[in-house]
Amino acid sequence: MLDSAVEYIKDKIKEFKPEIGIILGSGLGELADEYCDIAIDYKDIPGFEASTIAGHKGRLVFAKIKEKNVVMMQGRFHYYEGHSIQKVVFPVKVMKKLGVKTIIITNAAGGVNPSFKPSDLMIITDHINYMGVNPLIGKNDDSLGDRFPDMSEVYTSDYINLVKKTGRDIGVELQEGVYMALTGPSYETPAEVKMAKIIGADAVGMSTVPEAIVASWAGMKVIGLSCICNSAAGVSTVGLSHKDVINAANKAKEKFKLLVNEVIKRL
Ligand code: HPA
């Protein structure tokens, strides 16, 4: 299936060779509207599923940004949609086979660290996989990575520093911290958020970690960026809604685009 997807895409993109991949999270998909040379709907790609949630389109967008060849996922597959974890990470394997060396994985997240405010951006320094599932379970594809891959530096420190410096240079303030993934789709309870804080999380969300594990396993350099859309349950007294999450992402999207553009330029 992987080979069929790669062949299908190569046939559409001809000599375009993506070197940077971006997964655009909830409310952050606009980058792929602004830069779009070739778009392929997920539903047409062998092995891809259609995305099912509001705020998420479902297409792979190829574009030159700042002289770099980029492939963007406008919309991703979440485990909570009922897709198998293999389906969730399938596009990352496709990106690897297309030649992507660096992947920028973005998401909307809830702030666990009390100093975070809605619409803050956070560079991910590490993660906690609390999904109860690992995308590498099953027969190992030795052509992509090892059976027992090292995860001591999933988020390449050089690139964390590059993103932080970029933020400083262009005046985009950045938080940094540990992202913890849970399956969702229910938001966390205050007790769960308290636990997340105790075990070292700064933000919680429902994505990113499966993709980051697979990208790291396959030898890609990973940059993780969270848009803190709300204070996680119990951190503030206001309740959570998907609408508020999308609104906060909307508020953050201009600085997000500015940052990502400049990071791409410097990669
Ligand atoms: N929890 C989990 N995922 C999220 C949140 C949250 O508070 N906000 C946006 N995505």
126 Cβ closer than 6 Å to some ligand 1 atom:
no
pLDDT tops 90 at residue 55: no
The domain spanning residue 166 has which CATH number?
A: 3.40.50.1580
Is 213 near ligand 1, meaning CB less than 6 Å away? no
Q: Does residue 79 have an active-site annotation?
A: no
Is 229's C-beta closer than 6 angstroms to any atom of ligand 1?
yes
* Candidate of 120, 206, 246 to mutate for ligand 1, largest count of ligand atoms within 8 Å of Cβ: 206
Q: How far apart are CA 39 and CA 27, in angstroms?
A: 19
Tell me whether the omega of the peptide bond preceding residue 185 falls within 30 degrees of 0, making it cis. Answer: yes
CB count in 10 Å sphere of residue 119: 18
The answer to whether 242 is a known catalytic residue is yes
Asked if the model's pLDDT at residue 38 lies above 80, the reply is yes
The confidence band for 54, taking pLDDT boundaries of 50, 70 and 90, is low
* Ligand 1 pocket mutation, candidates 131, 183, 188, 192, criterion most atoms within 8 A of CB: 188
* Model pLDDT for residues 233-247, shown as the tens digit of each residue: 888 877 788 888 888
| Predicted structure pTM score | 0.95
For position 141, what pLDDT does the model report? 95
DSSP 112: -
Average the pLDDT over 51-63 and give the result. 77
Overall size of the chain counted in residues: 267
CA pair distance 239, 232, nearest whole angstrom: 9
| Residue whose CA lies nearest to ligand 1 atom number 9 | 109
The total number of structural domains in the chain stands at 1
Amino acid at 72: M
- What range defines the domain where residue 53 resides? 2-266
Distant-in-sequence, close-in-space partners of 200: CB < 8 Å, separation ≥ 6: 128, 178
Q: Quick check: 100 and 214 in contact, CB under 8 A?
A: no
Give the closest residue (by CA) to ligand 1 atom 10.
Answer: 109
The set of residues, in sequence order, having a beta carbon less than 8 Å from that of 255 and lying 6+ positions away, is 121, 172
* pLDDT, mean of residues 37-46: 93
Atom of ligand 1 nearest to the CA of 230: 8
pLDDT at 99: 97
Give the pLDDT confidence of 161-211 residue by residue, as tens digits. 999 999 999 999 999 999 999 999 999 999 999 999 999 999 999 999 999
Task: Copy the structure tokens of residue 29.
Answer: 């998909």
132 CA from centroid of ligand 1 (Å): 17
pLDDT tens, position by position, 78-119? 999 999 999 999 999 999 999 999 999 999 999 999 999 999
Q: Look at the block and give the residue holding tokens 């492939």.
A: 71
Strand partners, 74: 24, 59
Q: What is the pLDDT of residue 56?
A: 57
CA distances from residue 160 to 24, 28, 34, 129, 225 in whole angstroms, order as listed: 18, 20, 25, 20, 10
Residue 175 main-chain phi, psi, to 5 deg:
-90, 165
Return the pLDDT at 251.
87
The token pair at 107 is 């998401």
Q: What is the DSSP letter of 131?
A: S
53 CB near ligand 1 (under 6 Å): no
Residue 263 backbone class (left: φ over 0; alpha: ψ -120 to 50; beta: rest): alpha
Q: Provide the pLDDT confidence category of residue 52 given band limits of 50, 70 and 90.
A: low
Alpha-helical (H) ranges within the chain are 2-13, 31-34, 85-98, 157-170, 190-198, 209-217, 242-266
Which residues pair with residue 170 across a beta bridge? none
